[in-house]
């Protein structure tokens, strides 16, 4: 089986190489411009684009507001007591579109300073990537906690940071895990706040059932309609959505 896989892979490489040679398409070509910028052949650009597309979900999760939103939604569903309603697909869809809404100003800035100049061929690929990372980096720096940033910076072995130091030049490989940790912490804090009123309802219902001697009746069955009614009466979805949308400070 292993020999068969190796044979198929080798044959695929030969076919791809012969196709490139027959079409006279340079596989690996790099051209240096007059100002020192470097441009690559079409085959390398296609490879880079395909690689970015495969990693795009990870970028959305790690460098945007998606993590906080989906964690808060999951905790909220657990607090209400609805195990499968709304479904995972609905929660992920809400999180994606709310993320696009929150990140719209950041994406707009990336489009203006990076994507459009690159499409107009006024800047190279490396410059476009550098310009695109600026707005994302600023967004993450506005949300990250100094404690997490200092911790990951210390783990990376970089020069120590303090609470008064400007951290705008921090390495992106330090900033992303610090941002993720901060987002998880913030999401759990928000989830704890959402859990309290539903927990109170569960405790009140359990106490009433116990005082009435209904030991065999599950309190969750009785408290669930009251929790759903409370969430609807206070317009819970609007409150949660507005809290998440305004909490990032981009709108």
Give residue 42's pLDDT.
52
CB atoms within 10 A of CB 144: 23
pLDDT higher at 228 or 58: 228
pTM of the model: 0.72
The backbone torsions φ and ψ at residue 32, rounded to the nearest 5 degrees and listed phi first, read -95, 125
Question: Binning pLDDT at 50, 70 and 90, where does residue 82 land?
Answer: confident
Could you tell me which residues come within 8 angstroms of residue 2 by beta carbon, excluding any fewer than 6 positions away? none
End-to-end Cα, the chain, rounded Å: 56
Using the predicted structure, report yes or no on whether residue 21 has a pLDDT greater than 80.
no
Residue 210 Cα distances to 98, 201, 205, 207, 216, angstroms: 42, 14, 9, 5, 9
Cα dihedral 60, 61, 62, 67, rounded to 10, equals: 130
pLDDT in tens, 213-249: 777 777 777 888 888 888 888 888 888 888 888 888 7
**Beta carbons of 195 and 187 less than 8 angstroms apart:** no
pLDDT at 100 over 70: yes
CA distances from 88 to 61, 82, 84, 205 (A): 16, 12, 7, 28
């Amino acid at each position: 089986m292993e020999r068969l896989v190796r044979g198929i892979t080798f044959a695929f490489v030969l076919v791809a190489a012969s196709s490139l040679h027959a079409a006279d398409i340079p596989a690996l070509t790099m051209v240096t411009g007059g100002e020192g910028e470097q441009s690559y052949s079409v085959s390398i650009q296609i490879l880079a684009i395909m690689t970015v597309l495969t990693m795009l979900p990870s970028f959305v999760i790690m460098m945007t507001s998606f993590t906080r939103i989906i964690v808060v939604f999951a905790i909220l569903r657990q607090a209400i007591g609805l195990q499968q309603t709304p479904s995972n697909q609905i929660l992920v869809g809400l999180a994606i579109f709310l993320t696009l809404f929150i990140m719209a100003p950041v994406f707009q800035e990336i489009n203006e300073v990076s994507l459009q100049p690159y499409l107009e061929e006024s800047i190279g690929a490396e410059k476009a990537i550098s310009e695109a990372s600026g707005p994302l980096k600023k967004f993450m720096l506005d949300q990250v906690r100094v404690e997490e940033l200092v911790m990951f910076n210390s783990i990376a072995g970089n020069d120590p940071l303090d609470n008064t130091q400007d951290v705008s030049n921090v390495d992106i490989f330090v900033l992303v895990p610090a941002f993720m940790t901060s987002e998880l912490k913030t999401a759990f804090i928000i989830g704890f706040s959402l859990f309290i009123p539903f927990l109170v309802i569960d405790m009140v219902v359990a106490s009433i059932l116990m005082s009435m001697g209904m030991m065999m009746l599950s309190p969750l069955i009785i408290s669930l309609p009251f929790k759903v009614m409370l969430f609807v009466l206070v317009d819970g979805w609007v409150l949660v959505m507005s809290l998440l949308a305004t909490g990032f400070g981009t709108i």
